[in-house]
Amino acid sequence: MESSGMLRGLLFVGLLTVLCHGQASREVSAEDFAVEKPESAADKDLIEALEALLGKMHSTEKRGNIPTCGMGDRCAMKFGPRIGKLCDCGRGANCNSYLLKCI
């Protein structure tokens, strides 16, 4: 049973390798993205509105809402087969999935 799943996985990876081998990357030049200066006031207003919207989207990222917890603090909670995140461990620490604490 387990070997058939492993065989399927190897076949899938082999197929992806063969399909992706033919893909060639191509360099992007400045000519591909010819940017023209906005000439009308409506274009300038549209650009300013888009920049403001992008600024708001970056300020309300999902990771920004998760509080930071210290070493040894509980960072996750187990809900049956799933683990929910309570807080994000600080720099240099990871949330241990067995102890559910920052180590």
Residue spans per domain, the chain:
67-103
> CATH assignment of 67-103, given 3.40.640.10, 4.10.40.30, 1.10.1040.10, 3.30.559.10?
4.10.40.30
Q: Are 93 and 71 in contact (CB under 8 A)?
A: yes
**Residue 75: burial class (beta carbons within 10 Å; 0-12, 13-18, 19+):** buried
pLDDT band at residue 68 under the 50/70/90 scheme: confident
Query: What percent of the chain has pLDDT above 90?
Result: 0
**Which one, of 102, 96, 98, 95, lies nearest residue 70 by Cα?**
102
Specify the residue for token string 């274009």: 43
* Mean pLDDT, the chain, whole residue set: 77
